[in-house]
């Protein structure tokens, strides 16, 4: 039985979700503030977290950020009244797996939960064990430590966010390949989040700020107009 952590400070919403999730054969635990939610998520074992952004004591954004900083990869679906493009992109950039604006129907929430869980199960089933065992990967001046989640350039550690690390990891694994925004969405975020290609552009820009000598004239992470992006550390990468 899959276990869900429901986090919301509105009792009516918690009660509604708890009832419907139990009817759908999920085991459910709940929290009404960010501090309790973070503690439960870090010390408990959950298959997925439903997380409201507007929480007392600690915001949902802070909870999500801390979970990802602690390398807790439990799937997270954001529940929030915020529904602007910026809020969606911001939440997904921080490492959320999906986004459901309020008001929502319990049936929609359950469908989204099942979809995210299927993606995670598929990803785990298709992952390459040999790659996981390769702790250190070298790409040009970059050294990627897959075990410690660190990237260094010229022996200097780069301060990457969890999502920036995942993007760098994916790009290095596909060096000298032109990748479309949809491919990057599927490969880094784990699913095709239709209409959110801008999120890829934002993360590429952030990553360039940290890995490029001159972000305005990329040497390693270049734009291929009309197609997407290419990561290359070869000698012939000057534009």
Q: Tell me, what's the pLDDT at 160?
A: 84
CA–CA–CA angle 130, 132, 137 (5° rounding) = 90
Dihedral sign of CA atoms 78, 83, 87, 93 in order: positive
Ramachandran class of 226: left when φ > 0, alpha when ψ lies in -120 to 50, beta otherwise: left
Average pLDDT, the chain: 85
Percentage of the chain exceeding pLDDT 70: 85
**CATH 1.10.10.10 residue ranges for the chain:** 130-231
- pTM of the entire predicted model: 0.63
CATH of 130-231, one of 1.10.1740.10, 1.10.10.10, 1.10.287.130, 1.10.287.70: 1.10.10.10
Choice between 217 and 198, residue whose per-residue pLDDT is larger: 217
The 10 Å Cβ neighbour count of residue 112 is: 19
pLDDT bin (cut points 50, 70, 90) of residue 132 is very low
* pLDDT tens sequence across 61-73: 899 988 887 878 8
Query: What average pLDDT does this structure show over 153-159?
Result: 89
Q: What is the CATH number of domain 3-126?
A: 3.40.50.2300
Q: Tell me, what's the pLDDT at 130?
A: 42
Tally the residues of the chain: 239
Q: Tell me, what's the pLDDT at 116?
A: 86
* pLDDT tens sequence across 72-124: 888 999 988 766 655 666 666 677 888 888 889 999 999 999 988 887 776 55
């Amino acid at each position: 039985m899959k276990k869900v952590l429901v986090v919301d400070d509105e009792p009516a919403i918690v009660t509604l979700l708890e009832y419907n999730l139990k009817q759908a054969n999920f085991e459910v635990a709940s929290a009404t503030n960010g501090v309790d939610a973070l503690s439960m998520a870090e010390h408990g074992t959950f298959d997925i977290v439903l997380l409201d952004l507007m929480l007392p004591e600690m915001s949902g954004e802070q909870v999500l950020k801390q979970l990802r900083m602690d390398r807790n990869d439990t799937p997270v679906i954001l529940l929030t009244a915020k529904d602007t493009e910026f809020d969606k992109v911001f939440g997904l950039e921080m490492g959320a797996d999906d986004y459901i604006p309020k008001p929502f129907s319990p049936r929609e929430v359950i469908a989204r939960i099942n979809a995210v869980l299927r993606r995670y199960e598929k990803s785990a089933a298709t992952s390459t064990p040999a790659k996981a065992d390769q702790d250190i990967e070298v790409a040009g001046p970059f050294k990627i430590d897959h075990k410690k989640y660190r990237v260094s350039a010229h022996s200097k550690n780069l301060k990457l966010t969890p999502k920036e690390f995942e993007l760098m990891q994916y790009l290095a694994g596909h060096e000298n390949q032109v990748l479309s925004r949809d491919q990057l969405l599927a490969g880094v975020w784990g699913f095709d989040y239709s209409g959110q290609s801008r999120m890829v552009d934002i993360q590429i820009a952030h990553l360039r700020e940290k890995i490029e000598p001159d972000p305005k004239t990329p040497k390693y992470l270049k734009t291929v107009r009309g197609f997407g992006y290419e990561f290359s550390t070869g000698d012939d990468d000057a534009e």
